[in-house]
Structures are given as C-alpha cells and as structure tokens.
Amino acid sequence: IAFWSMKVIYCTIDALLCAVAFTPAFIYEGYEKIQKKMQERDYWEALRTIGVILLAPVFLLYNYVTSQESSEDTEGKRRWRRGARDDFKDSIEKWMEAADHHDTTSPDIMTALVHNHSSQFEMLSGIQKQLREMQTQQEQMGERLTKVETHIK
C-alpha cells in the first residue's frame, strides 16, 4: 500500500510539474496561431485556439495521465539513448571550451571601459576647444556690434 501511495503522490506531483513547465510554451504557440488566423480572417479557428489556450493545463495533464509507459527496452533504444547522452555531454564540453577561448581572446572589460573613457575624454576636449573658439568669436562680434552702434549714434 505504501508503495502505491508513494507512486500516486509522485505521479501527481510529476504531472503538475509537467503541466507548469510546458504550459507557457503551449500558450505561446497558441498566441502565434491566433495572430496567424486573424490575419487570414479565419475567426472561428482563432476563437477555438483561444479556448485551447484557456484549457492548456488540462490538456497537458490529460496527455501526461493517458501516456503509456514503455517497458520494452531494446538494444537499439539503449544505443540511441547512449549516443544522445554522449552527444549532449560533448556539446556541453565544447560550449565550455568556446567560453574559455572567448575569455582568453577577448579584451578585459575594464580595458574596454578605460579605452571608451579615454576616447570620450578626447572627444570632450575637442568639443571644449571648439566652444572656447566660438565664445571668443562671439565676444569679438559683440565688440564690433558695440562699435558700430556707437558710430551710428
């Protein structure tokens, strides 16, 4: 009795976790389908899709509960699973190697920030120099205007 009770509890929790995990992806596909059907002006199918989205967790739970467990474990399935596991393990190792290579070949973030700061400082000093020249020219124009106004009076 204890074994079956634990199995029922485990299956219930597993089904709920499955529904929680896959419902967002299922709903997202439904949103894409609604948009497509609305553009095609197939409003009935869009309305049906809205109903499917609302019932997505129930649908996923139903699929989980009605799925059959396969106890047949053939040599071909074992070989396929082993190959998939090895491929996945190798791909993770390749990702880690690529990340390490990226870390060693890319400039340090602080170096990039210092370079960015120095280039902005150079640009700012150039802008300040131009601003001083413009202020000098404006003062000269103000003096000329004053001379012209006094000469006219």
Q: Rounded to whole angstroms, how far apart are CA atoms 41 and 10?
A: 45
Q: How confident is the model at residue 90 (pLDDT cuts 50, 70, 90)?
A: low
Report the phi/psi class of residue 41: left, alpha or beta, with left for phi > 0 and alpha for psi in -120 to 50: left
What does the pLDDT read at residue 74? Answer: 72
Domains of the chain, by residue range, sit at 1-67, 107-153
Q: Rounded to whole angstroms, how far apart are CA atoms 25 and 57?
A: 11
CB 60: neighbour CB atoms within 10 A? 20
What does the pLDDT read at residue 137? Answer: 94
The structure's pTM equals 0.33
What does the pLDDT read at residue 24? Answer: 78
Residue 56 has pLDDT above 80, yes or no: no
Q: How confident is the model at residue 59 (pLDDT cuts 50, 70, 90)?
A: confident
Q: CB of 52 within 8 A of CB of 31?
A: no
CB 56: neighbour CB atoms within 10 A? 19
